[in-house]
A = this chain, B = another copy of it.
Amino acid sequence: MANKKMTSLGKQKSVIRELAGFGAERAKVVGPENVLNFSIGNPSVPAPKEVKEAILDIIQNETPQAVHSYSAGNGMESTRKAIADNLNKRYGTDYGADNLYMTCGAAASLNIALAALIEEPSDEVVVLAPFFPEYTVFIESQGGKMVLVEARDDMQLHAEDVEKAITKNTRAVLINTPNNPAGVIYSKEALEELAAMLEKKSKENGRPIYILSDEPYRELVLVDDAEVAWVPSIYDNTVVCYSWSKSLSLPGERIGYILVPGKVEDKDLMPAIGGAGRALGYVCAPTLMQKVIERCVDVEPDVEVYKKNRDLLFDGLTEMGYVVAKPAGAFYLFIKSPDGDSETFSDRAKEYDMLVVPGTGFGSKAFMRLSYCVDTETCEKSLPIFKEMMDKYYR
């Protein structure tokens, strides 16, 4: 009698949750240090000391009312101004506080932006595999239809592949770079090709096709010559969804933003985002965290451990003959199961108490995801297992 769709969403089996359950059970038997858990995207790097200092200072020196009262629905002006300043400094833009809408994290950002963009059930949102599986839930919940672009083995953006998925009903293309689960960064050139194609298609359609740029990993760049392009500088009709979950290691605190640049064609988009926030029950983003962000917006994440883990795993695994999408950002590695069957690989890995997530849910059945936001020892211990598995099963 409860809503059927919600019940089914609530009861849906989660491969990641099941792996976590298996890992917890095994930890009791063999000790947690002997479970090599690459299944979860919880940052292993602690929130930087500046976050702790900011919380202590705010709580000790400001009145409870100043800290804990409602903020405006779109967030504190001083926080939005600080974020705009940070972006302007880095990208040569001229955003103001009014271009920003504070949210309860990336999932909130995406749902609100989708609700503001989607009008008809026929409206389509194009998603590029491999992709974060919750995208399906978000797009459908907000009344749209997801259209999937298959991945190539390089897991990169290819405008010509995207073009084939564009129809008269395309409302937005949702991109995620650095990418979860593949760890790749889309090149500026690839984004420029995408932009040119979308401009052409928007004209044909008689309404703009938006880029929805989901960027929680923007600051997690792990390869020296890699660069995360600023999408709104490449394509005017871009809406950026951001969260500090990964960059400041604050996933539980639910704090992020939506950026609507002044150049977007539809001047009603920001009001619609305010309305969508209201309609989804978001009164405001958590106020203490808004104040923390205002003070920590310029803090750069410590990515040294992620870099070390990436190098160790990428070099080790490619040397063994594994096919790996070249990871340049985030903290994920997307590895091809040598026989193209990631589910069997994941099952076999469990026999070694090693947890890797089959890529089926991410839209790439042959590949599996390793979240290497773990301590380096776990990565080191995993290499002989990958070697043994290659020798035993796949030679």
Q: Mark A218-238, 1 if CB is under 8 A from B, else 0.
A: 000000000000000000000
Given contacts A275-B8, A276-B10, A281-B107, contact A56 B47 (CB under 8 A): no
**A112 proximity list for chain B (CB < 8 A):** 281
Q: By the criterion CB–CB under 8 Å, are A108 and B281 in contact?
A: yes
**A71 proximity list for chain B (CB < 8 A):** 252
In the complex, what distance in Å separates the CA atom of A47 from the CA atom of B208? 47
Choose the segment among A24-32, A81-89, A262-270, A305-313 that binds chain B (4+ C-beta atoms closer than 8 Å): A262-270
Q: Mark A67-83, 1 if CB is under 8 A from B, else 0.
A: 11111000000000000
Given contacts A10-B271, A276-B10, A279-B9, contact A68 B134 (CB under 8 A): no
**A41 CB to nearest B CB, Å:** 8
Q: By the criterion CB–CB under 8 Å, are A253 and B68 in contact?
A: yes
**A316 proximity list for chain B (CB < 8 A):** none
Residue of B whose beta carbon sits closest to that of A72: B17
Q: By the criterion CB–CB under 8 Å, are A64 and B42 in contact?
A: no
Q: By the criterion CB–CB under 8 Å, are B5 and A252 in contact?
A: no
Q: Mark A1-30, 1 if CB is under 8 A from B, else 0.
A: 111111111111000000000000000000
**A47 proximity list for chain B (CB < 8 A):** 64, 68
**A30 CB to nearest B CB, Å:** 22
In the complex, what distance in Å separates the CA atom of A105 from the CA atom of B283? 8
Interface residue range, chain A? 35 or more
Given contacts A46-B64, A47-B64, A64-B249, contact A286 B254 (CB under 8 A): yes
Choose the segment among A115-123, A179-187, A317-325 that binds chain B (4+ C-beta atoms closer than 8 Å): A115-123
Residue of B whose beta carbon sits closest to that of A11: B271
Q: How many copies altogether?
A: 2
**A249 proximity list for chain B (CB < 8 A):** 64-65, 68
Q: By the criterion CB–CB under 8 Å, are B65 and A10 in contact?
A: no
Residue of B whose beta carbon sits closest to that of A44: B65
Q: Mark A279-298, 1 if CB is under 8 A from B, else 0.
A: 11111111111000000000
**A289 proximity list for chain B (CB < 8 A):** 286
Q: By the criterion CB–CB under 8 Å, are A2 and B252 in contact?
A: no
In the complex, what distance in Å separates the CA atom of A287 from the CA atom of B115? 26
**A7 proximity list for chain B (CB < 8 A):** 116, 268, 271-272, 275
In the complex, what distance in Å separates the CA atom of A283 from the CA atom of B105? 8
In the complex, what distance in Å separates the CA atom of A254 from the CA atom of B282? 9
Given contacts A7-B268, A268-B1, contact A252 B55 (CB under 8 A): no
Given contacts A64-B51, A251-B68, A281-B107, contact A2 B46 (CB under 8 A): no
Given contacts A251-B69, A253-B287, contact A272 B10 (CB under 8 A): yes
Query: Within 8 Å of chain B (Cβ to Cβ): is A207?
Result: yes
Q: Using a CB-CB cutoff of 8 Å, which residues 93-137 of chain A contact chain B?
A: 104-105, 107-108, 110-112, 115-119, 134, 137
Q: Which residues of A contact B (CB under 8 A)?
A: 1-12, 42-44, 46-47, 51-52, 55-56, 59-60, 63-65, 67-71, 104-105, 107-108, 110-112, 115-119, 134, 137-138, 141, 207-208, 249-254, 265-266, 268-276, 278-289
Q: A2-B272, A6-B275, A51-B68 are in contact. List 14 more A-B contacts (CB 8 A).
A: A1-B268, A2-B116, A3-B115, A6-B116, A6-B272, A10-B278, A44-B65, A46-B64, A69-B252, A107-B282, A110-B281, A141-B280, A253-B286, A253-B287
30 intermolecular pairs with C-beta atoms under 8 Å apart? A1-B119, A1-B208, A2-B116, A2-B117, A3-B115, A3-B276, A5-B279, A6-B271, A6-B279, A7-B268, A7-B272, A9-B274, A9-B276, A9-B279, A10-B276, A11-B271, A11-B275, A46-B65, A52-B64, A55-B288, A59-B59, A68-B251, A68-B253, A70-B251, A107-B283, A108-B281, A252-B286, A252-B288, A254-B284, A288-B288
